[in-house]
Structure 1
Amino acid sequence: MAIDGMNHFTVLTHDLEATKGFYIGVLGLQEGFRPALGFPGAWLYAGGQPVLHIIAGRALPPDPRGVLDHMAFSASDLPATTAKLKAAGINYDLRRQNQSGTWQLFCFDPSGARVELDFDSTESAGAT
């Protein structure tokens, strides 16, 4: 057996539309095909691949992160991203990795899942 890569993350939400709005409207994922699974939700895509499954209508755990600390996405255009987050009133923490110089932006989705966005070290932080 060999693991070839990550397929997707699944997040639970109490508000499907707000969660879709965050991942689509703010982060730029795209809603795509989702089979009829018999419960509400959405599949969101990046680069033609379904990378995030959202499930609504189930009870949320007391700690929204459970044993999963965060999910990370590769991203581009750091200044535009921080502008979108600010416009949406979403707080974030921007850090630079010491050795690689990669920009790491951390924020939370509407249900409390921690999200990391990784930007190339050559990007400018702009006015953060």
Structure 2
Amino acid sequence: MCSGSKTAIALDFPGYWLYSGGTATVHLMGTRKPREGIVVRGTEKKYEDTGRLDHIAFAATDVEGMRKRLQSKGVKFRESVVPRTGDIQFFLYDPDGVGVELNFPKT
């Protein structure tokens, strides 16, 4: 479910996207089931200090440069394409186990 004037998309978990100036800024997500590429707290690793914070998301640029940088540093990440927009997303974890989402606009 999405808030604002954006079109709702079907997801397999509950959530709301809060917008600022037409840009999805805060993602509030409900419980998700684990699946490939999706780690749900408590199933594979236990992070004591993240509380209910699942992940933070950033608008990003230079997808090729970031991909090369993460790979050169040995950072594990999952890459996906948003079907309705063609935007590219990277998903990774910070050292404390908080998820980080990087969103790159379609080029």
Task: Return the TM-score normalized by structure 2.
Answer: 0.54
Closer, same or farther: CA 100–112 of 1 in aligned 2, 3 Å = same
**Bigger share in helix:** 1
Q: Specify which structure has the bigger relative contact order, considering alpha-carbon pairs within 8 angstroms and separated by 6 or more residues.
A: 1
Q: State which of 42, 46, 61 in structure 2 corresponds to 1:76.
A: 61
Gaps of 5+ in 2: 1-17, 26-46
| Distance across 2 between alignment mates of 1:4 and 1:101 | 19
Identity %: 32
Query: How many residue pairs align between the two structures?
Result: 65
Under a length normalisation based on structure 1, what TM-score does the superposition of the two structures give? 0.45
**Pairs within 5 Å for 1:1-128:** 5=20, 62=48, 64-122=49-107
Residue deviations 1:46-87 (CA, integer Å, cap 9, x gap): xxxxxxxxxxxxxxx62x543222100110001110111011
Structure 1: gaps of 5 or more residues: 7-60, 123-128
Q: How many angstroms apart in 2 are the aligned matches of 1:107 and 1:65?
A: 15
Higher-Rg structure is 1
User: Is the CA contact 2:55–2:100 (under 8 Å) kept in the aligned structure 1?
Assistant: yes
* Structure 1 stretches of 4+ moved >3 Å: 3-6
C-alpha contact (below 8 Å) 2:50/2:96 kept by paired residues = no
- Cα RMSD of the aligned pairs, angstroms, is 2.2
Following superposition, the deviation at residue 91 of structure 1 comes to 0.4
Map of 2:38 onto structure 1: none
Aligned residues of 1:93 and 1:106 also touching (Cα < 8 A): yes
Equivalent residues of 1:65, 1:114 under 8 A apart? no
Query: Secondary structure, in 3 states, of the residue corresponding to 2:58?
Result: strand
